[in-house]
Amino acid sequence: MKAIWYETPGVAREVLQFGDRVKPEPGPGEVLVRIRASAVNPSDVKKRAGAQPAGFVDGYVIPHSDGAGVIESVGEGVSGDRVGQRVWVYQAQFARHCGTCAQYVTLPSMLAASLPENTGYDIGACLGIPVMTAHRCVFSAGDLSGKNVLVTGASGRVGYYAVQWAKMAGARVIATAGSEERCRVAAKSGADEVLNYRNDHLVRDILGMTDQAGIDHIVEVEFGMNVGTSAAVIKNRGTVSTYSSSLAPEPAIPFYPLMFKNVSVNMVLVYNMPDAAKEQAVEDIHTALEQARLCHRIAGTWSLEETAKAHRAVEGGGMDGCAVIEIE
Ligand SMILES: NC(=O)c1ccc[n+]([C@@H]2O[C@H](COP(=O)([O-])OP(=O)(O)OC[C@H]3O[C@@H](n4cnc5c(N)ncnc54)[C@H](OP(=O)(O)O)[C@@H]3O)[C@@H](O)[C@H]2O)c1
């Protein structure tokens, strides 16, 4: 099969190789998926760059956790009814050698979820990390109907979907983005209000938009950068679900303002969220796709041979949506 792989972490154009690898066979409990689209997420490029060298598996790595395609065969214990099913796959390269950046991948049957007929493989490839993370960050907060939710960085891949889940949950959503242009992008998510997070009067504006009541739940992309604002705008017993703090990886937190409000901070890592939360996310994604209730953005597509270019584009940031590798 045609595939992209790397044998040592490093710069994309130096370490990513394109060529032939042996087509895998599904083991017990696994499915073999003929991949048609593979998405590039920030965690894929961070892993390839060597962000967690201790976690590097020996040998080669076929990158990318998310993808979509068709089940070609199944291993022992998996129903033959699955053969021919269109699927989106997630976590293909979490603690495993071989991800979706190839014509074929084998993985546990649970990680290949049914893809509705109305949804293309390109969109299917973008569901795993962005949409599941957003789902967890919203629904781990319980019933949000009628609540005020703040989604920071709603122009980003995860934030854009977090706004949509929060709206489906019945919340009033205030979103932030980093420029006028990015605010226009974020507004397309369906947020009720969008604010520029670089404004000096962000706290005043957020409180004003809630009639001084404050925010019940925050979905946070840059925890350390925004925790001062969070502490100022959150209600008593408010909650924060955060999935990243890349600009301030060891944040200093305003302990007492948060403590006096009984704030709960929930760290989210999509890869090892509880199985029940994964199953609920898969079910809700399926329903939302069938009902065409999610709005998606593909920022760019590349061929398998061009994967290094897609990695560079994701590393550059500021993309308006997901980066997809189309696989023939
Ligand atoms: N924990 C997990 O399971 C998990 C899952 C998915 C992603 N992640 C991580 O989450 C991060 C974002 O992923 P992504 O795919 O959504 O990336 P992305 O599409 O590049 O989005 C990043 C967003 O962060 C926003 N941002 C930057 N600085 C900000 C600030 N000070 N306040 C508010 N927003 C700010 C950007 O806004 P502007 O562009 O408008 O400035 C942009 O919307 C990455 O580090 C990724 O590795 C973690």
Domains of the chain are: 2-126+296-326 (3.90.180.10), 130-271 (3.40.50.720)
Question: By alpha-carbon position, which residue is closest to atom 23 of ligand 1?
Answer: 156
User: Is residue 213 within 8 Å of residue 238, measured between CB atoms?
Assistant: no
Residue 52 confidence (pLDDT): 76
Ligand 1 center to 214 CA (angstroms) = 23
Question: By alpha-carbon position, which residue is closest to atom 28 of ligand 1?
Answer: 222
Question: By alpha-carbon position, which residue is closest to atom 48 of ligand 1?
Answer: 243
Which residues sit with their C-beta closer than 6 Å to ligand 1? 41-43, 129-130, 133, 152-153, 155-159, 176-178, 182, 197, 221-222, 225-226, 243-244, 246, 268-270, 317-318
Q: What is the pLDDT along the chain (328 residues), one digit of tens a residue?
A: 999 999 999 999 999 999 999 999 999 999 999 999 999 999 999 999 998 766 666 789 999 999 999 999 999 999 999 999 999 999 999 988 899 999 999 999 999 999 999 999 999 999 999 999 999 999 999 999 999 999 999 999 999 999 999 999 999 999 999 999 999 999 999 999 999 999 999 999 999 999 999 999 999 999 999 999 999 999 999 999 999 999 999 999 999 999 999 999 999 999 999 999 999 999 999 999 999 999 999 999 999 999 999 999 999 998 999 999 999 9
Which of 158, 180, 220 for mutating ligand 1's site (highest number of atoms within 8 Å of CB)?
Answer: 158
Which of 133, 163, 219, 221 for mutating ligand 1's site (highest number of atoms within 8 Å of CB)?
Answer: 221
Which of 244, 245, 246, 297 for mutating ligand 1's site (highest number of atoms within 8 Å of CB)?
Answer: 244
Token pair for 283: 């079910």
Residue 116 confidence (pLDDT): 98
Going from the C-alpha of 89 to that of each of 52, 129, 243, the distances in angstroms are: 23, 10, 21
Kindly report the number of other CB atoms within 10 A of residue 85's CB atom.
Answer: 17
Ligand 1 center to 196 CA (angstroms) = 15
Question: By alpha-carbon position, which residue is closest to atom 41 of ligand 1?
Answer: 178
Ligand 1 center to 71 CA (angstroms) = 32
Ligand 1 center to 322 CA (angstroms) = 12
Q: What's the DSSP call for residue 98?
A: B
Ligand 1 center to 84 CA (angstroms) = 35
Residues paired with residue 38 on neighbouring β-strands, in sequence order: 67, 325
Q: Locate the ligand 1 atom nearest the alpha carbon of residue 186 and give its number.
A: 40
Ligand 1 center to 267 CA (angstroms) = 14
Ligand 1 center to 30 CA (angstroms) = 32
Ligand 1 center to 155 CA (angstroms) = 8
Ligand 1 center to 317 CA (angstroms) = 9
Write the DSSP string, 201-270: THHHHHHHHTTT--EEEEEESBHHHHHHHHHHHEEEEEEEEE--BTT-SS----HHHHHHTT-EEEE--G
Phi and psi, residue 106, nearest 5°:
-105, 145
Question: By alpha-carbon position, which residue is closest to atom 37 of ligand 1?
Answer: 153
Residue 183 confidence (pLDDT): 97
| Pairing of the two strands 17-20 and 322-326 | unpaired
Question: By alpha-carbon position, which residue is closest to atom 34 of ligand 1?
Answer: 153
Q: Angle of helix 157-168 relative to helix 180-187, nearest 10 degrees? A: 40
Ligand 1 center to 273 CA (angstroms) = 19
CA angle 55, 40, 93 (to 5 degrees): 35
Q: What's the DSSP call for residue 57?
A: P
Residue 61 confidence (pLDDT): 94
Show the DSSP H helices in 27-107 as ranges: 42-49
What does the alpha-carbon distance between residue 123 and residue 280 come to, in Å, rounded to a whole number? 19
